[in-house]
Each structure stands twice: as C-alpha cells, then as structure tokens.
C-alpha cells in the first residue's frame, strides 16, 4: 500500500493538472460511478481541487460532488497530455477524467465512490481516520493520546493503524522506530511520554520531508539525518527498512527482521540501537 507521502504527491499532481479545468469526458468501468454520471453528468463540471486525507485521494467537482479513491496495494493515478501513450493497458483503467489539457486515469483503483461534498467528512472511511500526519496542523497532544490509548498493542502495529495516525506505512514504521530507538514489538504501555512524542513527531517530520516540491519519487529520509543518504544505491537510502543482515549505519550491528500483526507486515530494527529489553526516550536525531 502506498505510504502517505506518495498519496499526498499523487493528489498534488492531480490538483496541479486538473484544478480549475472543465471536465470534457468521464469514463469508468465501475457501475456505481457510471450511474451517478448518467443521472448528473460529470462532463461540464469544473474540477475545484484534489487533495489527500491520510491514504485517500479526493477530487472535488462543482455541483457538490467529490470522488474518493483509495489505492490499496495496486491502484495508481496517472496524468497524461491528450494523445499521449498510456504506460498501462486500457484493461487496467477504472476511472478516467479528461479536460482540455490533461487526462487523469485511475488504474486498478479498488475503491472509488462519489459523495456529496457537504457530507464528505461524515463518511465512515474518513470519519474513522486518526490525525493526518501530513495535515496542515497537528494537535501533538491529541495524536500522542491516541497512540497511548493502544496500550496492549505493539507499537509497530499501532503506527500502521490509520484509525490512530493517518499516513504512515510499513517503510516509515521501521524508520520511525529506529530513529526513536524503539524495538518495533514493544507494547505501547511500556513506552514513556517522551518516546511516544518522538514517534509521532518523527513520523510527521519524515513524511513532510518527502512531500517537498523537490522530493524524488522514491522514499528517502531527510539528508541531514545521515550522510549515507547521498549514496546512489537504493539499499543505502533508508536506515533499516529492507536491510536485514546488513550493518546498522549507527553501530555496525546486523539489522534484524521479523513480522508483526494479522497481515504479517515486516519490521526491521537494529538489536543494539533498539534492544527488546529497552524502551528509552530519544530525541530522534
């Protein structure tokens, strides 16, 4: 599943290409979308904006209508110029929005629904979201309290739970735990206040670092965190994720890997920097 920064960049690209333009053509292979288009055509509506909420991409149209999509594991949005060759086959197209200047195509999008704009935030899928770590404002105390309330759960599972904090994915889970020197399987109840604040603040900081206008498409962490990020090799761009058996950039100890949660998501950590017996506060530096 794409991380929150990738979803944010997708929404930003859609906004830059589509906002303020009139829809000239709408297509979908999803009957529940085409029924709306049949009764209240999308063609002729103006696209007002596109934005993200957690891992949801939202596109607002004039006339009180919003399209919500969730990409899950395989969905993606592409933007093309008219006549430009698609990078994926038409059989993968689920949603198509065309304007005079750009064509937005949702490929293999598993979740897509129209909703009246004025009830959008009451939709169960959005109402259940925790604080968005890429939101303009974040109530740190409230976000930490939501994490703290998951006392009996391993922190790695909690960081992935979009009902607690919205935006983090499996890569960030391991990176954030490493930077705060937390063993990913530590129960939340064993973490003190300073460590919980470190986890939330570091997650927000890393996500924000990767949605700047100059951020590359790949997941990287802020260069000031470690000089290794300037290496070209993909395996040297992250602290621990995907580096099982390789030496820790801090201490040289081999990175370990195990799985957690009902979905058996992989977690990576350094057993010396974040030992199982220690859950101490850190600055995240």
Instruction: Go through the domains of the chain in sequence order and give each one's CATH number.
Output: 4-127 (3.20.190.10), 140-269 (1.10.8.50)
Q: Which residues, at least 6 apart from 134, have a Cβ–Cβ distance to it below 8 Å?
A: 4, 5, 8, 52, 167, 204, 207, 208, 211
173 a catalytic residue: no
Task: List the catalytic residue out of 27, 31, 55, 116.
Answer: 55
235 a catalytic residue: no
Each of the 285 residues of the chain gets a pLDDT tens digit; together they read: 678 888 999 999 999 999 999 999 999 999 999 999 999 999 999 999 999 998 899 999 999 999 999 998 889 999 999 999 999 999 999 999 999 999 999 999 999 999 999 998 889 989 999 999 998 889 999 999 999 999 999 999 999 999 999 999 999 999 999 999 999 999 999 999 999 999 999 999 999 888 876 544 444 444 434 333 445 566 678 899 999 999 999 999 999 999 876 677 899 999 999 998 654 444 444
131 a catalytic residue: no
Residue 285 vs residues 40, 142, 155, 202: alpha-carbon distances, Å: 53, 23, 19, 9
Please give the pLDDT value at position 281: 44
What is the pTM for the complete model shown? 0.84
């Amino acid at each position: 599943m794409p991380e929150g920064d990738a979803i944010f960049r997708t929404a930003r690209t859609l906004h830059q290409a589509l906002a303020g333009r009139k829809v000239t053509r709408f297509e979908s292979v999803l009957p529940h979308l085409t029924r709306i288009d049949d009764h209240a055509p999308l063609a002729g509506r103006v696209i007002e904006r596109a934005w993200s909420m957690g891992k949801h991409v939202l596109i607002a149209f004039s006339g009180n209508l919003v399209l919500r999509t969730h990409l899950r594991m395989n969905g993606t949005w592409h933007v093309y110029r008219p006549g430009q060759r698609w990078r994926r086959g038409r059989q993968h197209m689920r949603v198509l929005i065309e304007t005079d200047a750009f064509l937005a195509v949702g490929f293999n999008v598993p979740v897509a629904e129209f909703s009246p704009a004025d009830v959008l935030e009451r939709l169960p899928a959005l109402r259940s979201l925790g604080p968005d770590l890429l939101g303009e404002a974040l109530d740190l105390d409230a976000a930490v309290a939501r994490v703290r309330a998951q006392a009996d759960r391993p922190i790695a599972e909690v960081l992935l739970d979009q009902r607690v904090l919205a935006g983090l994915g499996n890569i960030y889970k391991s990176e954030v735990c490493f930077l705060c020197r937390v063993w990913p399987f530590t129960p939340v109840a064993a973490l003190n206040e300073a460590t919980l604040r470190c986890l939330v603040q570091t997650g927000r900081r890393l996500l924000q670092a990767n949605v700047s206008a100059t951020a590359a498409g790949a997941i990287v962490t802020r260069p000031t965190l470690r000089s290794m990020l300037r290496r070209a090799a993909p395996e040297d761009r992250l602290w621990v994720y995907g580096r099982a058996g390789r030496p820790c950039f801090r201490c040289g100890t081999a990175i370990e890997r195990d799985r957690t949660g009902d979905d058996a998501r992989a977690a990576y950590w350094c057993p010396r920097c974040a030992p199982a017996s220690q859950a101490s506060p850190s600055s995240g530096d």
